Amino acid sequence: MKSTFAFALLVSAATATSAFAQIQPAAQPAILDAEPAAAVAAVSAEGVLPSNTDVVLRLTDMLSTRTNRTGDTFPLTVVSDVLVDGRVVIPSGTRAVGQVTWRTGRGGFGKSGKMEIALRCIELNGQRIPVTGFHRQEGDGNTAGTIGATLAAGVIGGMLVHGSHARIPAGREFTVRTVDAIPVTLGEGRLAAIAVSYRPTAFGTDLGRRRDAQATAPRCGNGNRAAQSRREARLARECREQLRSNQT
């Protein structure tokens, strides 16, 4: 009787163990979970285009104080590919935008036209990447020499000599610098894409003559520019007095 009861208990335990084994799911190998992440890492990686990266831009059309006014924008193009780890982030030929921030037309007595421009941004895939760059252009002029000649010989035919307009020819190249550190996604090919997380800094829109432009402008041969301006103003007054005297 006891042996029969023990045999029944053994059969019952074996049956329960078999049923429990069928209910438990099979363990999944850990390597299967690691494979998708490894595949993603092989396809792309992250990089950064540093701030203050030099970019060379080429002017598309001529600028002149004759035709351009303060506030006018104008197109440029990127000259060479901009790279991160050998991959192209900003391709050559990409459009860029500049703006005339200040200009004066040519004047009488040989006074030349002057113009200042700011390079504002690069336009790439619907984003405006801010850059920084500045240029000042002056036309040829010799105010003191022209006034001196007028005083000596009088006004020929009732006409005064004017200075020339400031011109920046098409094809002129400018080196600008990027403002932001730009995150990029590096793919398997030659191209890289700007990361979707990038939020560009707003580029400048200020107009008017730069306060430091006077300091960066070349010195005149006969002293500093302030002294030259005073001399030109004095000669202009003398010229006007001479003209009134000739008319009477």
Q: Could you tell me the pLDDT band of residue 141, with boundaries at 50, 70 and 90?
A: low
Cβ–Cβ under 8 Å, residues 44 and 183: no
Cβ–Cβ under 8 Å, residues 129 and 120: no
220 or 125, which is more confident = 125
Q: What are phi and psi of 13, to 5 degrees?
A: -65, -40
The structural domains of the chain, with segments of one domain joined by +, span 43-247
Q: Given this model, what pLDDT does residue 235 score?
A: 62
pLDDT, tens only, 211-238: 655 444 433 344 455 555 666 666 666 6
Query: How far apart are alpha carbons 83 and 48 in whole angstroms?
Result: 10
- Confidence (pTM): 0.62
Q: Given this model, what pLDDT does residue 150 score?
A: 39
Q: How does DSSP classify residue 218?
A: P
Query: How far apart are alpha carbons 218 and 18 in whole angstroms?
Result: 96
Q: What are phi and psi of 183, to 5 degrees?
A: -75, 140
Query: How far apart are alpha carbons 200 and 185 in whole angstroms?
Result: 16
pLDDT, tens only, 49-82: 999 999 999 999 999 999 999 999 999 999 999 9
